[in-house]
Chains A and B, each alone.
Chain A
């Protein structure tokens, strides 16, 4: 046995501690709330669950929208932790849990394909992934980051069930899949093609001697059917709302759908930063993946995810997704591609360490640290960084005094500060930061996102804003907070008057005197009481069930005993009992 330091696997606990050491302090500083686009959005959703656990109808945005349009589990856990920690720290805790689970998930996924040592390298490198830094601290995507590891944890059970008909694996796999779906359904949908199909392929390769490929695939289908039924039930209110209101709004431009070759800033933001040094490893990922029969499905899964992560740089996503291409954003696929590449990167690391020892260790460490450092730096250097310096407390205070909350409000030029205001103010807005839930025609008829950023969407944005202002009386939209003087002429001609100034003119408040108080806007999107109960119980209940299963139903044996040891790129036959 080789006892060299460079030939030993890194203990999983050490990798977890490294991830904790890196991301713990950053999250304790509540960095995502200050630097990311979406973290405050997740806090806002969670704040609603914290106050109305069983009522997903949220009046604070779009004159009322249903939170059943977005899987709730991540937000519900934030809401649950918030009772002890408060909302901001609770959200950070869930981010941290997601990152730590990713380390474990990558390790467990890698163990399906590669050796324990390579898997340990893959798990160790997870914490340094540029895409995690990008998604957590820049994009603020809680759901993708939390859903992905849950899904990764489900995959080995899917493998075990498909390969050897292990009933306990079926139960745990399906429950984990449902929990992953309850956090983020989109990750599940794409994960099923990019992750599950390669794993099923692997299960066919690794099937037990007495089992046929048909049986393996059959068991895979059984798993898929059970998971499908489960997802349909657990997220039933989501499907009901989707059937009632399919997404038919005019597409909203998003930079992740662009051709990155035509805009260097987009290329840096969505390609170089998320992948970082992983780009150097990609030729080897393809080469090593192509060379091994067992790794081939994983490599192909990576390739598809990689093509998706390029957005409009290749036509593949558009061909495969059709109209859905215009609804999705593609930065999340960098995470899926990176996770699929990591097991093979682990093999590459193993090979380099075997050959170059200390030099390889230094090189790999430097590459990992540089990847994360650049991704962190990009938070500051990026031309698209959100402006978090705006103090929105005056807005919150204004709306919560003197009965101003009888009316709805709108912010203009506030960037992504809307959720911060909505979380802490009682008042309701006609705007919001969640495109999929918008049903008001003033939004859906125009290709624009938030009204607060209307000018960045050109004529479509300004026309949408005009349409909303034209119907101010209908929505009780009396107060408008302006942080960008660009919008002042329109307010002036539309009959609004400046009534207050905050922060030496940083924010001005405009009011329209003849606007009546706001009424609830009737909507058929309002979930029923039963849907509210299902929404409040099933996703969270399944997550508790998953935790109970993890504690009380331990895996039968160490998974590594059933696995084929890697490397196998030599094409030499591997003589272990269950491999063919």
Chain B
């Protein structure tokens, strides 16, 4: 009995550990590591990228002698304080496009977790059969190199001297900037109500702005309130216009009587730089067949813009704002160097969009 029970317990423990080993996908991982098929080779590369095992990932490139290792790493980990430097590869989808037995193309959709939210990147990867396994043929665009130059800085800046915390009512103070919501449109989407529109700073000083929207019942009571969060340019220079968008997930227009809009403005320190030019704006379909507004961003200032954020408002033929979409660009904007962007919009909206207006928000890391 004593041997039987002891052996049974040892055996059962080992069996249970083995079951869990299988369940945790270890076998699958082992299979992928053999890179027997094109998509397994890509999966292996991406799994190594995900775990930041750069040496192993680089060793898996068929053309490693032609690919600069730093350049390869920067493709995933970013540089110049761009959004990629705040991102980590969280997951990926891989599916083969075509293969001729020696060369194959695999499409990947990389899901990054970033400091501003999730970010997807679709990329087609060439794979080559080499020996017993498939290896990745990596193509990286050369990183732009800036010529040494001196760019004079003569930008405008506003500073504000705030009152203290003491309540000194009736004493001279500087009023909040005058801002005005110039348009508002409530749009029903399948899963939500979306309030879109534009706001302008009518004052002669910069304004911090935020737009709140409250859905109201017929009796005027509030149903819920949301704000524009990052779907707005919060700092508006004098006479600058920003699109805004407020989402109400789970609500339908039939549930509400009206919407109360509330534009908050504050006087804040601000700078007139950087100026970003948006060139080559076009509505077109991307590689996945989705309608996007694409173009290039050109930083006309001398400092690097680390994270650009594109906000686009779309108008129908009557000039009414019908949609606002946004997107973060994962590359930094070097001075005078175009960087492409694309923000998507629903197909049904695209068919009504007559024209559009793009505004660029920016994050400049003061420490960089």
Please state if B115 and A489 are interface contacts (CB–CB under 8 Å): yes
For B115, what are the chain A residues with a Cβ–Cβ distance below 8 Å? Answer: 455, 462, 486-490
> Is the C-beta of A555 less than 8 angstroms from some C-beta in chain B?
no
Closest to A314 in B: B16
Please state if B19 and A315 are interface contacts (CB–CB under 8 Å): yes
Given A455-B115, A489-B307, decide whether A314 and B17 contact each other with a Cβ distance below 8 A: yes
Closest to B267 in A: A513
Residues of B in contact with A, size category = 35 or more
Kindly state the separation between the CA atoms of A261 and B88 in the bound complex, as whole angstroms.
Answer: 24
> Is the C-beta of B60 less than 8 angstroms from some C-beta in chain A?
no
> Is the C-beta of B256 less than 8 angstroms from some C-beta in chain A?
no
> Is the C-beta of B1 less than 8 angstroms from some C-beta in chain A?
yes
> Is the C-beta of B10 less than 8 angstroms from some C-beta in chain A?
yes
- Which of A259, A296, A470, A488 is the one whose CB lies under 8 Å from B24? A259
> Is the C-beta of B182 less than 8 angstroms from some C-beta in chain A?
no
Please state if B268 and A490 are interface contacts (CB–CB under 8 Å): no
Please state if B6 and A307 are interface contacts (CB–CB under 8 Å): no
For A569, what are the chain B residues with a Cβ–Cβ distance below 8 Å? Answer: 2
> Is the C-beta of A329 less than 8 angstroms from some C-beta in chain B?
no
Contact with B along A487-526 (1 / 0, CB 8 A): 1111011110100000001000000111000000000000
> Is the C-beta of B226 less than 8 angstroms from some C-beta in chain A?
yes
Interface class of chain B by DSSP: mixed
Closest to A487 in B: B115
> Is the C-beta of B135 less than 8 angstroms from some C-beta in chain A?
no
> Is the C-beta of A190 less than 8 angstroms from some C-beta in chain B?
no
| A82-129, CB < 8 A from B | none
Kindly state the separation between the CA atoms of A492 and B270 in the bound complex, as whole angstroms.
Answer: 13
- Which of B6, B111, B212 is the one whose CB lies under 8 Å from A290? B6
Kindly state the separation between the CA atoms of A62 and B254 in the bound complex, as whole angstroms.
Answer: 33
Kindly state the separation between the CA atoms of A310 and B306 in the bound complex, as whole angstroms.
Answer: 45
Kindly state the separation between the CA atoms of A569 and B2 in the bound complex, as whole angstroms.
Answer: 9
For B4, what are the chain A residues with a Cβ–Cβ distance below 8 Å? Answer: 290
Contact with A along B352-368 (1 / 0, CB 8 A): 00000000010101010
Please state if B17 and A261 are interface contacts (CB–CB under 8 Å): yes
Q: State the Cβ distance, B108 to closest chain A Cβ, in Å.
A: 17
> Is the C-beta of A192 less than 8 angstroms from some C-beta in chain B?
no
Please state if B6 and A286 are interface contacts (CB–CB under 8 Å): yes
Given A402-B165, A486-B86, decide whether A286 and B10 contact each other with a Cβ distance below 8 A: yes
> Is the C-beta of A463 less than 8 angstroms from some C-beta in chain B?
yes
Given A470-B226, A493-B361, A514-B210, decide whether A462 and B6 contact each other with a Cβ distance below 8 A: no
> Is the C-beta of A50 less than 8 angstroms from some C-beta in chain B?
no
Segment at the A interface, from B33-41, B227-235, B293-301: B227-235
Please state if B117 and A287 are interface contacts (CB–CB under 8 Å): no
Please state if A313 and B307 are interface contacts (CB–CB under 8 Å): no
Given known contacts A487-B115, A493-B230, A495-B230, what 5 new A-B pairs fall within 8 Å (CB)? A314-B20, A403-B165, A459-B90, A489-B116, A495-B208
Supply 7 A–B pairs (Cβ within 8 Å), ascending by A: A292-B2, A310-B17, A403-B165, A462-B116, A489-B307, A513-B264, A514-B264
